[in-house]
Amino acid sequence: MIEFRGSLLTRTTLVFALAATAIVASAIIFFTALVVGPLMERAANHQAAVIELAANTYFELPADRRAEFEIQVLVNHGLLVSTIKQDMPEAVWDSRYFSLLGEALTARFGSKVSFFEDDDHYWVNLPNPNESTLELQIGFSSELPYLTQQIVGIAVVVLAAIIVMLASYVTVRRIARPLERASNATEQFRGTFAIEHLPVEGPKELRLLAANFNQMAHEITELIENRTALLAGISHDIRTPLTRMRLALELNREELGEDVTEQLTNDLAQMDELVENALEYASGTQETPESVPFDSFLSSLVDGIAANMPIHWEGERNLSLELAASAFSRVITNLIANAVEHANDVSLLVEVEAARVLVHVKDHGRGIPFDEREKVFRPFYRIDAARGGERSHSGLGLAIVKQLCDNFGWTISLSESEGGGTDACVAVNRARTE
């Protein structure tokens, strides 16, 4: 079964175009078989009868009346009658009509007749039925009968097919436009940006779709805002007792001992990190992208995370990107922190292509199994045993990376690094570069 690819407008237009082509082809075949064919056969038989009658009458008339008869036949039937044998090339039939005419004349005269042609006429040599030495040449027009009707009939069929195809295209386009707007809005909607509502217009089904989408976007945005407010409140309420706990630890350090104090301090730090990451994951970001000199921006970012980390460039370095700088910094920071925690020999590779920029965070370690590479982006999903990590963490680092990438249209992918380890690649579209 053939499956068409592409947009709804393209696919539907192609289907209608193929249908219109099939209609035209079928109509022409039936028109030729049921209308043109019988008309040609009737016209050929009629022409053959007129030629036979003209020849027989000519031979039966007295010699002094034949000139007058030649004029009458020319005026009334468009036939040229001549007893002067002309030297002409033999005719080559290029139409079914003339082939039918030849068959009809052969049947009427009982023997095969010879045909010749000049610039404007076909000629047939007819013998005298009285076996006289007189041989008659009759010329008739080389134009096809009913040609105008055939052209008009075919033109009407083709025009009707074109009208159907254009009407279908306009109709489908009017339907596809609201669907395309809904598709684009769905693709761009992440629940963190205010989204312009779809216009509620068009057929009933499309109006219902637009209204439902607008309601869904409103409810999801409201849900995320409520979740963010809830987590912000929880974060505030939790951080207050955490601060009191730190203060109590410092005041009672000698009574508790260094080991207990250090352990409790680490636990409080992990709780604080968990609260901060949970809040960041819930709130996302509403940062507006702006033009950033990418080379200096990335170098400063990496220097602030891990000094002396090597950065390898492939391609243009002097470029600017329309980038949400804080969000991108968070993405790269989380990837580097994750790599440093679980592996070693962490490095960056920047590949600048015509349409996008790829930033690879590479490490050498145990790597991430293939069947885990999608799961690690889930909130609180941990594979410490596979990565060799020993320090407990929130499990939200890569989830935040995934959320920010989806939010700003970046692409994050994990693959195996050369020589073992993980290659975390962030792809940024250059469509909005300066």
C-alpha closest to that of 54 among 88, 87, 80 = 80
Residues 13-38 pLDDT 10s: 777 778 777 877 887 787 777 777 78
pLDDT in tens, 209-257: 888 888 887 887 777 777 777 777 777 777 778 788 878 877 787 777 8
Does 358 score more than 90 pLDDT? yes
Per-residue HEC secondary structure of 246-269 comes to HHHHHHCHHHHCHHHHHHHHHHHH
Cα separations in angstroms, 191 against 61, 218, 219, 368: 102, 9, 9, 30
Q: Going by C-beta distance under 8 Å and a sequence separation of 6 or more, which residues neighbour residue 295?
A: 313, 317, 318, 319
Neighbouring C-alpha atoms within 13 Å toward the C-beta of 419: 8
Q: For residue 132, what pLDDT is reported?
A: 59
Residue 36: DSSP 8-state: I
Cβ-based neighbour number of residue 353 at 10 Å:
12
State residue 3's pLDDT score.
46
Lowest mean pLDDT among 103-107, 206-210, 230-234, 344-348: 230-234
pLDDT in tens, 69-92: 888 888 888 888 887 777 788 777
pLDDT in tens, 389-407: 444 556 678 888 888 888 8
The DSSP line for 212-244 is HHHHHHHHHHHHHHHHHHHHHHHHHHHHHHHHH
Average pLDDT rounded to a whole number, residues 183-194: 64
Beta strand 356-364 pairing with 344-352? antiparallel
For residue 318, give the nearest of 287, 360, 350 by alpha carbon.
350
Instruction: State the Cα–Cα distance between residues 359 and 346, nearest whole angstrom.
Output: 13
